[in-house]
């Protein structure tokens, strides 16, 4: 595995792969790997001749009051994990190289980035779109893999790729969870023991919503109310950021489920802001 | 010369060029060719193995009150001209293919797009950046050529390419002018005979500013006042949109010329909005 730190080395190396007719899969990460990242890498390894993993805690997707400075970090362990999954190139750029002092260009999908997580993180997806497009351009990746825990992120990035005709195919992977249902996240380390005990109830609430939909409920408000009632009991330490039922592709709010929808949420628990989501299969059966 | 209308055909053709180790130069245009476009094509022809010319009147860079519907058009003549300059591929997409009904992604360089022409055309450069990035992605062009008449445009696009690590090299060409100094523009056809007589005074004013700078004047306000005084006499039908002296690269306003600067203007003459610019060489000689 090669560890590359400069942008020019990365683009030259990837260009040489393509000149040798080798395809490239990119797995963009912020590091501090858990089994969810490992799944993305394992899957990415099967998609192309060369697996490029980027590890960059992208400052432009963090708001001023967010956890950029404290984001957990362990490059040595991360390097070993990436190599163990057949990563060919680990890209570890400096923020000052990724963003020159006079960086001024932004990519945005406004109607998809100002909702859900974008409401409490107004510049987040602008930063995500911009850095991911930079990584696509630097690597000229044929494939890129993202996790479905950040559902909004992958929906926005697919839209960006389609709208801008970026020659990359985005693939996604299901959320990897702890045995008790908690979605894996590098930010789970922020949880105290007490908060960690309550955290699985986030996903349990989403599963209860799915059960309700399977039984025939189609009214989004009733489905959300059930989840909120459960959370009020099971996550007393939690503070709701949002809970929405939306179209899985364009993320527009759904009032009445006429087709498959996505229930997505963010819940603050102590220092952690945890996101999760679940597909609500409303096709076929009518209420 | 191949005439291509669909996005997928363009990207497949350009991919085949690259697979055959042939480099690509793109000349993006809105058609209704004049000698300025011909110069871009002739120069583009020398830069790469394949010359791709796009002809697309991009709706997203026109404001609601602008001349999208009336923009002059002559595809037959344009095709002959492109072919005569060695164009390999003329790309003539439909607007509905370039922008799907749910297009939602925008690229912007806010601090460079809200000034100069951006003040009276607030969405213009967002549309330009977005469509040009789409064309770069579709063609994977190695080179692209733009005219210096739209100085702000090429400065913004160079910044976009740098900030987003787009693997293209942007080249520019000097403005081509009529014998009397008027910058060539497809929009010059909007001028009445009387307006056409006054129009060359735009560039004459800019040249007077350069002469003043060469003589040692460094105060931007004094330089601009000279031009405005001349225009008041020589272009009585004109209405000033803007006249600014700026840094040629980041387009920030310059009050005192310590290094080479750019004087840029837009003047409305009847139905036409004419832009022009001139470099003010302030290096070396001190006032």
- ipTM for the complex? 0.96
Tell whether B140 is within 8 A of chain A (Cβ).
yes
Looking at residues A100-110, what average pLDDT do you find? 97
Name the more confident of B141 and B283: B141
The strands making up A89-91's β-sheet, listed across from edge to edge, are A2-4, A89-91, A50-55, A24-29, A143-147, A169-173
Name the band, by pLDDT with cuts 50, 70 and 90, for residue B286.
very low
Just give the CATH number of A186-280.
Answer: 3.30.1300.10
Tell whether B22 is within 8 A of chain A (Cβ).
no
Just give the CATH number of B186-278.
Answer: 3.30.1300.10
What are the tens digits of pLDDT across the range B212-237?
999 999 999 999 999 999 999 999 99
**Inter-chain residue contact A164 with B107, CB threshold 8 Å:** yes
pLDDT value of position A287: 40
From the list B108, B137, B163, which residue is nearest A103 (CB)?
B163
User: Which are the contacts of A164, defined by CB distance < 8 A and separation ≥ 6?
Assistant: A107, A133, B105, B107, B130, B133, B134, B137
Calculate how close chain A gets to B159, using CA atoms only, in Å: 7
What are the tens digits of pLDDT across the range A52-76?
999 999 999 999 999 999 999 999 9
From the list A112, A138, A165, which residue is nearest B138 (CB)?
A165
What are the tens digits of pLDDT across the range A200-249?
999 999 999 999 999 999 999 999 999 999 999 999 999 999 999 999 99
User: Which are the contacts of A287, defined by CB distance < 8 A and separation ≥ 6?
Assistant: A216, A217, A218
**Inter-chain residue contact A167 with B137, CB threshold 8 Å:** yes
Nearest chain B alpha carbon to A167: B137
Active-site residue list of B:
37
A95-103 long-range CB contacts below 8 Å, 24 or more apart? Answer: A95/A56, A95/A57, A95/A59, A97/A5, A97/A6, A97/A7, A98/A7, A98/A56, A98/A58, A98/A131, A98/A134, A99/A59, A99/A60, A100/B162, A100/B163, A102/B250, A103/B163
pLDDT at B287 over 90: no
CB B25 within 8 A of CB B52: yes
Q: How distant is the alpha carbon of residue B132 from its chain centre?
A: 12
Contacts of A109 in chain B (CB under 8 A): 104-106
Which of the following is catalytic: A18, A34, A37, A103? A37
pLDDT at A259 over 80: yes
Place of tokens 């669909």: B6
Nearest chain A alpha carbon to B160: A105
Among B257, B185, B227, residue whose Cα is nearest residue B34: B185
Residue % of chain A over a pLDDT of 70: 99
Q: Indicate the average pLDDT of chain B.
A: 97
A105 burial via Cβ count (<10 Å: 0-12, 13-18, 19+): buried
What are the tens digits of pLDDT across the range B51-81?
999 999 999 999 999 999 999 999 999 999 9
Looking at residues A19-44, what average pLDDT do you find? 98
**Inter-chain residue contact A140 with B108, CB threshold 8 Å:** no
CB A231 within 8 A of CB A238: yes
Calculate how close chain B gets to A203, using CA atoms only, in Å: 31
From the list B100, B104, B137, which residue is nearest A109 (CB)?
B104
What are the tens digits of pLDDT across the range B180-208?
999 999 999 999 999 999 999 999 999 99
Intra-chain end-to-end CA distance of chain B, in Å: 54
Nearest chain B alpha carbon to A7: B165
Tell whether A114 is within 8 A of chain B (Cβ).
no
To the question of domain B2-173 being in CATH 3.40.50.620, the answer is: yes
CA A184 to CA A222: how far, in whole Å? 28
Intra-chain end-to-end CA distance of chain A, in Å: 54
pLDDT value of position A284: 55
Least confident interval from A15-19, B222-226, B235-239, B283-287: B283-287
Tell whether A106 is within 8 A of chain B (Cβ).
yes
Tell whether A162 is within 8 A of chain B (Cβ).
yes
Indicate if A75 belongs to the active site: no
Place of tokens 């600014």: B244
Contacts of B24 in chain A (CB under 8 A): none
Looking at residues B20-46, what average pLDDT do you find? 98
From the list B7, B15, B111, which residue is nearest A165 (CB)?
B7
Q: Which residues pair with A54 in a beta bridge?
A: A28, A91
Strands B50-55 and A261-269: unpaired
Calculate how close chain B gets to A212, using CA atoms only, in Å: 32
What are the tens digits of pLDDT across the range A110-166?
999 999 999 999 999 999 999 999 999 999 999 999 999 999 999 999 999 999 999
Tell whether B106 is within 8 A of chain A (Cβ).
yes
Enter the tokens of residue A151. Answer: 């559902």
Calculate how close chain B gets to A93, using CA atoms only, in Å: 14
- Sketch the domain layout of chain A as residue ranges: 2-173, 186-280
Name the band, by pLDDT with cuts 50, 70 and 90, for residue B101.
very high
pLDDT value of position B282: 85
Beta strands in A6-152 (DSSP E): 24-29, 50-55, 89-91, 106-108, 143-147
CA A128 to CA A158: how far, in whole Å? 12
With 0.90 as the threshold, say if the pTM is over it: yes
**Inter-chain residue contact A105 with B109, CB threshold 8 Å:** yes
Tell whether A84 is within 8 A of chain B (Cβ).
no
Report the residue of A164, A169, A252 to disrupt the B interface, i.e. the one with the largest count of B CBs within 10 Å.
Answer: A164
Other Cβ atoms closer than 10 A to B191: 20
Other Cβ atoms closer than 10 A to B176: 18
Q: What is the DSSP string of A9-31?
A: HHHHHHHHHHHTT--EEEEEE-S
pLDDT value of position A286: 46
Q: Which residues pair with A238 in a beta bridge?
A: A269
Local structure of residue A235 (DSSP, 8 states)? -
From the list B104, B140, B167, which residue is nearest A163 (CB)?
B104
């Amino acid at each position: 595995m090669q560890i590359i730190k400069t942008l020019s080395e990365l683009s030259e190396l990837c260009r040489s792969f393509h000149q040798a007719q080798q395809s490239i899969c990119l797995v963009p990460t912020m590091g501090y790997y858990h089994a969810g990242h490992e799944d993305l890498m394992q899957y990415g390894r099967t998609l192309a001749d060369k697996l490029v993993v980027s590890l960059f805690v992208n400052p432009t997707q963090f708001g001023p009051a967010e956890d950029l400075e404290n984001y957990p970090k362990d490059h040595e362990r991360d390097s070993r994990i990436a190599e163990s999954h057949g990563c060919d190139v680990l890209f570890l750029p400096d923020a000052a190289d990724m963003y020159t002092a006079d960086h001024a260009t932004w990519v945005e999908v406004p109607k998809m980035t100002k909702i859900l997580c974008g409401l409490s993180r107004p510049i987040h997806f602008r930063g995500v779109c911009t850095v991911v497009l930079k990584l696509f351009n630097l690597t000229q990746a044929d494939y890129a893999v993202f996790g479905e825990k950040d559902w909004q992120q992958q929906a926005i990035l697919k839209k960006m790729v389609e709208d801008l005709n970026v020659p990359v195919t985005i693939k996604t992977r299901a959320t990897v969870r702890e045995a008790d249902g908690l979605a894996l996240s590098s930010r789970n380390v922020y949880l105290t023991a007490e908060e960690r005990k309550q955290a699985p109830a986030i996903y349990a609430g989403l599963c209860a919503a799915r059960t309700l939909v399977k039984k025939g409920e189609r009214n989004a408000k009733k489905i959300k109310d059930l989840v909120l009632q459960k959370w009020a009991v099971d996550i007393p330490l939690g503070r709701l950021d949002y809970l929405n039922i939306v179209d899985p592709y364009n993320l527009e709010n759904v009032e009445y489920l006429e087709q498959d929808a996505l229930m997505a949420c963010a819940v603050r628990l102590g220092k952690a802001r945890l996101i999760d989501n679940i597909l609500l299969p409303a096709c076929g059966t009518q209420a």
